[in-house]
Structure 1
């Protein structure tokens, strides 16, 4: 079935025209908050109050989601952690920022959507795990993260315009990390504007003890202590400007954003980001109609992404470089005078253009219909300039003229069929097409390393264009068992098409393949244009209980997901145990299941102690490849967080105990590294005056040495160009004892 964009839009536009023809009598637009809380209930909400303590103490926006049930973070760069929902991460999670569907443009997934936001710029985050409304889903199978930045504010009619501001400064001793941010806002009756800017930087962090056996980096005169995590430094700058105009019944908003990241290291990748520049524009119209609410949005993003070997990796290669010494001039393999290579530059340029039209229609009683049309055009070029040695004399085109286009139409019905029932039923169609142009290796010579010429010719001879049709369905219900108990349950069918790297990375040459790795396991990856979309079926239920006085709370959520055509990996050529290998993405079958539990109880409330609360979060999950019987990659082992929190007047404090069991169920095809169990203590506190807030704390209070279960393989130093030129079997460690302090001032 093939559905054109014009057909997708027709029904919605006809309905919109009818609504616009009716008289408009509403006096103002609601510009903050969600109008109706849909079913299913989000697995987690992070609002302004929850983010306030973290805005000056972290530069990683994904870290704001640590307390969301069912969500974990996969390690990447210092500002680029990757959310994993119910055991599924990467592009399987849909992340929208102010309605923009942004795409990671990097063969190592270094620039995910959340990395373009400083925590101080975020106003609210909602996370849907498993059962996701079709209005918030699409081209994903794990769940959705919906991010809203700090929006415009207006004064009441007749009031004087207002200026507001906020500034923050933070420091972490582990890595000597500094961050600063500034927020300025103007609020008028009709016009509003705000600006947010932030700078963050850090050196490498240290683990809680020695975790490796070598100090060598491959650079003359440069070594790293055995407890220092190489390639974990970063520096980033973010700027955003919002302009808004409000009429009696409408809002027009324009957002402009810019990021400049001069450097960000990646301990579980063979390359570092040596420059990343993003420019984005987002235009929005919101109108309250006589019979509903209309939102129209158009956005555009440009990304220039650059990678190379950072300061903790060997940079000089070739016979004239010896063991890594600088050499000159640049010479290519086969030169009688020897060879000399200066690093390995890898460039990625991308553009994303999108538009959405959403319509909320109140129906009879409290029922609501949500209708929408979405469109996106994504273009990508990934190319590696010649640098000497085997890298040349031409340009290696990893992906040329990559295309990934989406169009979607959805309808969703939220109903209240009885006093205690709320239901949601949604259907979403999505058409998605991908394509890529012809490629070439560094050299067209028949004897060039890695069989480049023959593999490029074979890839170019393929029919590379693919068209997929997705049908997503979601059905959920909420039943109020009593005044204090709620039962929520649902079923969902979701589909995701492979990304461009999964389909079009073409070279099996170990050096080239190892630079295509979106999962941080140290292996090399090759794509397959014939990959089919993943199809996930999820069943989930949640039981919630809250005491009548809201002093105690308990929530229990089991889930089960089966994924047909799950994109896993198979070996290319000879597979070697306890080494890094070249793998190919392949469709298989998988299942994931687990249980999430959260609880909270008020222990006491007195004048002397204030309020004392005890909370717990427990997680258990499994993931299995149904074709091979192996465990899926990077499944979080059983874990728990126990927090004793106190609040007394302006003072807040908390002592947290983090427990993680050993990870013994690992992916065999990836030679995934097992990790041992550990327990950590964290201490934090804060004090707030009217206009000043101070937050401080110590993470890993006892300075434990531990490995991150989702940290991947440590490849952050040494001769990382060579697939097995660095030792296998070292996991990325967590940070040792880290003290931090942050100050915020508002006016």
Structure 2
């Protein structure tokens, strides 16, 4: 492990010196260019226009956020579970996290953390994002399985090659930014070089931020924890972060063939989590991504293989109590050093798919996928110097939360597109998926029992022994079916309707987290940010979602002046995995006195329905003052657990965004209002917080020259204090391992921030 760490640091240090690293590699690469020998005829295949929205103006957005998930907030179907500064979890129509298939440059990535602190979108910086697609309606089976909410597809910049006879194409961009609220500052660098057949691109980014401040005091000022610093009444604890990302891309093209290799490296020294009891104290990841795309006289072929490795660590950050007493939780003498938690995840995948032109009308899309996932989650002993090596509350063993967790997926799919005429299009899809899961034997901190020991792991009468004796090998045979039809009567209207049956198997933590008699351990297995403790359930079955969606899209013939899109949707989920009282699944969990709950998970049924509306209208143009547009979107959502008659957790209340946009030559402006209704429909079993409604105002302006761009934004202009409906429980300070942090406060949003960014291009 130490050898790997030294090697990784040397790689990062080399990349951080692009004036040395990049030119030397580029020079070496371009000395030799080997032409490919494959031949094919160029064919422009008809594209499948799925229900998706492409985001624009990523450059300005990346000045205002370092969280890639935040780029999705202008989509009416999307909201966010707030987490760390670069690790928010996107939500599509009330379904989040592993219920969404997220593809980053074609890779299906999996979060490797008991709190899901490293979600897929955290592995690509906003500055490296060229396009995002949100498929929130009827998602084609070719866009991924093992998910029930939809698909988010994120791509970095496509390769660019020099034109014939024009020599090398050299491009570069550097961006720096500052955000006043949390003193966030960072730099993004991108440079590329290409000839007619080969290209290479490097993208690097670094950002560092302090805790952010709310729009007013929401708690008493004071010491954050014993032996810790001071937090003001408006300072939101455990929200500081630092992140560094590096990406190298190589490409080789010949006629209609493209071969690419992408390398991604991430190093997050720390990232506070305001709604978790632990903080990220290290996240190192490498992604290796090799892909091929080719066009033939019969259609298109795409192949990809990838591997991702994450080494993740958690501890108590600067705002949470680190030293605990050896006599009792939180009491002096303070001689027990925190609680180290470590995770290693490894994901390997392979994808092969092709588009076959059956006729001018029909296209058959077929493919196969394989994904292999391995997870180890262990907590090294934490003991006072005088008790090292003896049986204590957290020692002398390493606590194995997940030991050699396995989750392998084998998929095959077929999809038929038919363009019946100029007005009618249909799509039918079928995917078969086999998910195999298993986990190794576990143990507690010691074999003598007690508060954290759990006694002999070989004895089936103990908690770890019962888990070890159980059948942990699980196989799910899942089926996805989609049917979509689109009718375009004329150049000003499009109507869509569809049905989908999508299936998702539980993740590793949902099935294999085993501790149910100790509150502290249960607190650490929390994927939801609600402050409660959780234990998994070996008997969980896959979720099966049935979704019906219709959509009407009206617009002017040139799609330049106005549009209105209305999408009602309904989802019924059979086997919905939701929180339940432990006794409901035959477990006896520890009782609590801090206002939070200890819970387990079980299959129930749920329904979600809602309405998305978005629109745009040209107000004026050619007036001597440029062009003015008004934009709006609205989202209504309702979720109910049919089994318990409880509300579903973290359902975004009615919300809308209204904006006035102005474009005058190279100068653009936008003023926006975000309106969120009060949240009163909350989940009782989790003791979810109610929140009041609010309205926020933002202003953005930018001016672009040929080789430079200046961006300025003011967010939450009136510095309003508000609480995020999906923010979870405030756990940003105090003795979060003990019982002194009690339930009662939700997470406030960020107060006013003035953001500025400068971009230079060559």
TM-score for the superposition, normalised by structure 1 = 0.92
- Answer with 649-658 or 576-585: which moved more: 576-585
Following the alignment from structure 1 to structure 2, what is the Cα–Cα distance between the partners of residues 578 and 633?
A: 20
For residues 439-588 of structure 1, the aligned pairs below 5 Å read 439-449=442-452, 451=454, 453=456, 454-508=462-516, 509-548=518-557, 550-572=560-582, 573=589, 579-588=595-604
**Equivalence for 1:623:** 639
Deviations 1:77-124 (A, max 9, x none): 000111000010010011011111100000000001110111111111
**Equivalence for 1:294:** 301
State the shift of 1:324 in Å: 6.8
Following the alignment from structure 2 to structure 1, what is the Cα–Cα distance between the partners of residues 703 and 161?
A: 29
**Equivalence for 1:693:** 709
Following the alignment from structure 1 to structure 2, what is the Cα–Cα distance between the partners of residues 69 and 468?
A: 33
Equivalent residue for 1:395, pick from 395, 398, 403: 398
Give yes or no for contact 1:39–1:422 (8 Å, CA) kept in 2.
no
Following the alignment from structure 2 to structure 1, what is the Cα–Cα distance between the partners of residues 603 and 686?
A: 16
State the shift of 1:574 in Å: 7.5
Give yes or no for contact 2:306–2:348 (8 Å, CA) kept in 1.
yes
For residues 244-393 of structure 1, the aligned pairs below 5 Å read 244-319=251-326, 327=334, 340-388=335-383, 390-393=393-396
Give yes or no for contact 1:155–1:187 (8 Å, CA) kept in 2.
yes
Determine whether 1:46 maps to 2:55: yes
Change (3 A) 1:452 1:666: farther
**Equivalence for 2:10:** none
The gaps in structure 2 that reach 5 residues or longer are 1-36, 384-391, 457-461, 583-588
Deviations 1:17-69 (A, max 9, x none): xxxxx994426x99xxxx64324321x2125xx21212333211111111112
State the superposition RMSD in angstroms: 1.8
- Answer with 304-313 or 356-365: which moved more: 356-365
**Equivalence for 1:189:** 196
Secondary structure of the residue that 1:528 maps to in structure 2? coil
Determine whether 1:726 maps to 2:741: yes
Following the alignment from structure 2 to structure 1, what is the Cα–Cα distance between the partners of residues 625 and 164?
A: 44
Equivalent residue for 1:156, pick from 159, 163, 173: 163
Following the alignment from structure 1 to structure 2, what is the Cα–Cα distance between the partners of residues 690 and 601?
A: 29
Following the alignment from structure 2 to structure 1, what is the Cα–Cα distance between the partners of residues 333 and 41?
A: 70
**Equivalence for 1:143:** 150
Following the alignment from structure 2 to structure 1, what is the Cα–Cα distance between the partners of residues 742 and 329?
A: 20
Following the alignment from structure 2 to structure 1, what is the Cα–Cα distance between the partners of residues 463 and 221?
A: 37
**Equivalence for 1:10:** none
Following the alignment from structure 1 to structure 2, what is the Cα–Cα distance between the partners of residues 638 and 591?
A: 17
State the shift of 1:366 in Å: 4.0
State the shift of 1:603 in Å: 1.0
Equivalent residue for 1:124, pick from 125, 131, 141: 131
Give yes or no for contact 2:82–2:726 (8 Å, CA) kept in 1.
yes
Following the alignment from structure 2 to structure 1, what is the Cα–Cα distance between the partners of residues 451 and 62?
A: 51
**Equivalence for 1:746:** 761
Deviations 1:167-223 (A, max 9, x none): 100100011001111001111111110000000110000000111236332232512
Change (3 A) 1:633 1:450: farther
Deviations 1:478-498 (A, max 9, x none): 101332111111000000000
Secondary structure of the residue that 2:403 maps to in structure 1? strand
TM-score for the superposition, normalised by structure 2 = 0.90
Secondary structure of the residue that 1:135 maps to in structure 2? helix
For residues 150-229 of structure 1, the aligned pairs below 5 Å read 150-213=157-220, 215-220=222-227, 222-229=229-236
Secondary structure of the residue that 1:418 maps to in structure 2? coil
For residues 100-111 of structure 1, the aligned pairs below 5 Å read 100-111=107-118
Deviations 1:379-431 (A, max 9, x none): 00000000126211111000001000001001111111132001111000011
**Equivalence for 2:628:** 612
For residues 627-666 of structure 1, the aligned pairs below 5 Å read 627-666=643-682
**Equivalence for 2:16:** none
Change (3 A) 1:313 1:487: same
Change (3 A) 1:515 1:98: same
Following the alignment from structure 2 to structure 1, what is the Cα–Cα distance between the partners of residues 198 and 333?
A: 57
Give yes or no for contact 1:40–1:476 (8 Å, CA) kept in 2.
no
Following the alignment from structure 2 to structure 1, what is the Cα–Cα distance between the partners of residues 228 and 501?
A: 56
Secondary structure of the residue that 1:56 maps to in structure 2? helix
Change (3 A) 1:546 1:326: farther
Deviations 1:308-353 (A, max 9, x none): 00000000112469957785xxxxxxxxxxxx31010000001111
**Equivalence for 2:695:** 679
Following the alignment from structure 2 to structure 1, what is the Cα–Cα distance between the partners of residues 363 and 498?
A: 18
Secondary structure of the residue that 1:728 maps to in structure 2? coil
Determine whether 1:411 maps to 2:414: yes
Secondary structure of the residue that 1:115 maps to in structure 2? helix
Task: Say how many residue pairs are matched.
Answer: 705
